[in-house]
Amino acid sequence: MEIDWPVLRSAAREAMGRAYCPYSGFPVGAAALVDDGRVISGCNVENASYGVGLCAECSLVSALYGRGMSGAPRLVAVAVVDRNGDPLMPCGRCRQLLWEHGGAGLLLETVRGILPMSQVLPDAFGPDDLITRT
């Protein structure tokens, strides 16, 4: 599957424009290519109870499942941007979230370039670690 990174960055910038961030003033947008060809996006949504705010990547994963899609869609490539449209590294929680829904091969645009999640989150804990071993 060919990845059009400028299209993903543009969708992430558009999503960033919808961010709800009255407390931090730090809007973030994320966009992803899904294995079924869709491009989905999300933005950060803050809350007065700071710890329950949602990162853009959380919103993105909600969009992955939010349209009543059947099966288990997988993220293929993700771009996360700040208010200037520059690549932004996801926080630790969101790296784990992206791993869960894209796996080791998911490509992430970072400040160091395009990297697979296996390099962004080495030795990650994931669904395979929960398989009961006999």
DSSP 25-57: ----EEEEEETTS-EEEEE-B--SSGGG-B-HH
Catalytic residue among 2, 14, 57, 100: 57
Structure tokens at 104: 């080791």
Is there a catalytic annotation at residue 46? Answer: no
Q: Which among 46, 60, 56, 51 has a CA at the least distance from the CA of 16?
A: 56
Which active-site residues does the annotation give? 57
